[in-house]
Copies of this chain bind each other. A is one copy, B any other.
Amino acid sequence: MTEVIDPRDVSWVAEFADVLQIGTRNMQNYALLKEVGKAGRPVLLKRGMYSTLEEWLNCAEYILSEGNPDVILCERGIRTFEKYTRNTLDLSAVPAIKELTHLPIIVDPTHSTGRISLIGPMSSAAVAAGADGLIIEVHNRPEEALCDADQALTPAMFEGIMAQIRPLKAFLESN
């Protein structure tokens, strides 16, 4: 998966990337949305940090209306006054989106909380809320990461979280 920010990059990136990602700052970049709508690749559309559910779905519509049905929504936290977390993860968006659209929705506990200690609990909560997937930042050597170094998990930490998520998901599906 690769993030695109310039409509002129979409066609060549689509040759190599399995999924095109639209970041939170570009959710309302309409020229880019239309271009990824024509790219023949699934698109991960992150929620704008200041966007309502309605605006988010309107932006998904820009992609869908170009003939691309494979849009995945990603809740990644909204901007509020709270400063303990980097953003405020709006998990109610998960069941809300499910009653508003058929599109799948995944959750990003990394960028929303900005705290390693909260990634595990919020991953479990996202799955329990009905999320179709998670996107979690992992780095072999987080201290050398070019950005977001203080919130990337090591592979070992990630494995620890998955050891809790997998049985939880299995339990929820069997009930």
A contact set with B: CB distance below 8 Å: 5-8, 25-26, 28-32, 48-50, 52-54, 78-85, 88-92, 94-96, 99, 112-113, 115, 117-118, 120-122, 124-130, 164, 167-168, 171-172, 175
Distance to closest chain B CB from A63 (angstroms): 16
With A and B bound together, what is the CA distance between A132 and B98 in angstroms? 27
With A and B bound together, what is the CA distance between A91 and B175 in angstroms? 23
The reply to whether B31 and A8 contact each other, CB–CB distance below 8 Å, is yes
Set of chain B residues within 8 Å of A89, measured between Cβ atoms: 90-92
With A and B bound together, what is the CA distance between A83 and B54 in angstroms? 9
Closest to A171 in B: B171
Dominant secondary structure of chain A at its interface with chain B: helix
Q: A52-B84, A99-B117 are in contact. List 5 more A-B contacts (CB 8 A).
A: A52-B82, A78-B82, A81-B81, A89-B91, A91-B125
The reply to whether A84 and B96 contact each other, CB–CB distance below 8 Å, is yes
The reply to whether A54 and B84 contact each other, CB–CB distance below 8 Å, is yes
Set of chain B residues within 8 Å of A32, measured between Cβ atoms: 29
Set of chain B residues within 8 Å of A113, measured between Cβ atoms: 92
Distance to closest chain B CB from A170 (angstroms): 10
